[in-house]
Homo-oligomer: A and B are copies of this chain.
């Protein structure tokens, strides 16, 4: 994985102090250590699921689904996987009915994922599905040790797996939360962790990534006032759900009150897919308000060398220039052309190139963004790991639910 920054920055000092803060933070924040974990017990658990199970339904929302979905949707188009994953992430009845119509209960194992064990969406869906299929052996629960959900699972004799301590939902993709569904689908989770570990070592052991990520984080923090919208522009459809994962990670981690002031600060994440969004959002980047930075993500080798055939179409001769070109070369030329065009407009850019679509590379990319998020959070003085802003809506909902019950009785 390469990362080229097209902007300049000095400030060695700020970078070093941010690095020191992260080295400290490692001791209390659990996600940093996930690349080195021993996955023997996870693989043993995965082996207990019968080969007759061909569908895995994940009942979880936010951090409990976005990471696994990002990796699954990245790998799926290039690999024949062992099992299909289905994600129940909404209380939309149309969505629930539509997803359930695709499942065969006899061939489905359900993973119920909730850190706290009391997520409204997850348990309304679980109750509905459990009313259709009450075999405890069809369910595995992933939750915090000693949560009410663990106690419930034990009560019905269903399997329970645990989240490691001090790992927040949106940083949990490389823990049981992401690894269990991915292992069940047939994705190589050791390779995924290896990719994350490579990135981690390059950062913490003063390799290539240390300087690069630090520079980028300091640039984002220092220019927070102007460039407060941070776009990922990924040139492959396989990265569509990676962008959704990024949006949660970035938005929920960095949109906060500052620790030492009353300021509301935040950096707004945008996920774009090229070349499609050249025909949509690009105009706004190019000629709109100068408040956006852009990170291009390219795949060097698509390993799918379909070529534009050498066909001349009468009256469309201007398109002959495309003939004999591999699509993989075309899409990367499209990306490079947009980079060049934006550089002329003096918009802060960088580009990440990953060699190909596999587990190692998505593992590296995920860890890269987690580190970047932690660094920027530190530099803009927010608590990167909480989300107090979503509580008030939950409390209002609870009041409404209680009123509804009171109204009925």
Contacts and interface: CB of A to CB of B under 8 A. Distances in A.
A184 to B, nearest CB: 22
Contacts of A394: 337
Interface in A176-208: none
Contact of A400 (B123, B244, B302, B337): B337
Contacts of A276: 61-62, 89-90
A274 to B, nearest CB: 8
A51 interface: no
Interface stretch (A27-35, A265-273, A359-367): A265-273
B118 A330 contact: no
A290 B264 contact: yes
B283 A237 contact: no
Contacts of A78: 94
B288 A266 contact: yes
Contacts of A279: 61-63, 169, 248, 252, 390
Contacts of A283: 251-252, 255-256, 387-390
A145 interface: no
Interface stretch (A13-21, A103-111, A127-135, A214-222): A127-135
A67 B368 CA distance: 35
Interface in A284-304: 284-292, 302, 304
Contacts of A159: none
A211 interface: no
Contact of A390 (B268, B282, B327): B282
B92 A302 contact: yes
Given A62-B280, A321-B401, A152 B252 contact: no
A149 B316 contact: yes
Interface stretch (A1-9, A38-46, A306-314, A371-379): A306-314
A259 to B, nearest CB: 12
Contacts of A97: 77, 304, 306
A120 interface: yes
Given A287-B389, A401-B333, A98 B127 contact: no
A299 to B, nearest CB: 9
8 contacts: A89-B276, A127-B319, A128-B327, A130-B309, A169-B279, A254-B284, A256-B288, A268-B284
Interface of A: 61-63, 66, 77-78, 89-98, 117-118, 120-121, 123-124, 127-128, 130-131, 148-149, 151-152, 155, 169, 228-229, 235-238, 244, 247-248, 251-252, 254-257, 264-266, 268, 270, 273, 275-276, 278-292, 302, 304-306, 308-309, 311, 313-316, 318-319, 321-331, 333-334, 336-338, 340-341, 344, 357, 387-390, 392-394, 396-398, 400-402, 404-405, 408
Given A91-B275, A92-B302, A93-B328, 5 more contacts: A127-B311, A252-B280, A266-B288, A282-B389, A325-B404
Complex A-B, nearest 6 residue pairs according to Cβ-Cβ distance, in ascending order = A266-B288, A62-B279, A255-B284, A255-B288, A286-B389, A248-B280
